[in-house]
Structure 1
Amino acid sequence: MCGNSTAERGVSALRQIKFMKIIASNIKTVRTGIVVMFDTPVISMKMGLHSAKELEDWVEKHKQYNSSWTLTGYAIYLARTMLDAEKSKHKTIMLFSDGDEDACDVYDFGDECVKEQELMKKHTQSEEAKK
């Protein structure tokens, strides 16, 4: 089996979900924002006060693993835009990824990821990690 096979990435994703559920169940209310890192990353939960129940519900709703591309640089950029708007001196990003380098492959059925390729060039993983 390939070291980065779909099955192994799926198992890793399930471990991440279990970890996120543990975190969510052990907090009261926390300022949280969530960037989802599948295909083109998106801000899925805007920064704000969210209860443990809201976070648990979010994890349950988004527990499916359906990633095919990796755009870590763009995900870091989105997370930073949320954090830059925050007034707090202490800010934390928790990044859950499949561990792959930024990649945008062609799907089996022929769709290319032109938009994603542009985002990868504009927000490279190595440059975004330095900021």
Structure 2
Amino acid sequence: MLEAVKERIKSLGITVSSEPGNPDEYMLQFSIDKVTDHIKTQTNLSAIPVPLHHIAIDMVVGEFLLMKKSMGQLTIDGLDFGLVAKTIQDGDTTVTFAIDKDNLTPEASFNAFIDYLRHDSFDFIAYRVLTW
């Protein structure tokens, strides 16, 4: 699944370094394990069904991009998604960061795309089995 995830990320115009010991490799593998465990838990199956394979890949990419963005390590086409200070107060040092998902800014559009990639557990209902 790792190679399929890398290809999907590459298709979005994002490069992932394949150097040994690269933190991206660990984050990708962690995201794969997290999504795989989530799908198996939601469906009560021991493996991801073939029809959910592409959904799993998108979910991994969404998790990876969200992690990178949350850590301020994601820049795409000149857009820096680091936190932007909305208000700064000098006395008693107050800083408020601007986070507005209702606005149609490039960041809000990117957030909507990440939400799309991460899917919902609703996609797993057809594959869910009961356990006793």
TM-score of the superposed pair, with normalisation by structure 2: 0.32
Higher helix share: 2
TM-score of the superposed pair, with normalisation by structure 1: 0.32
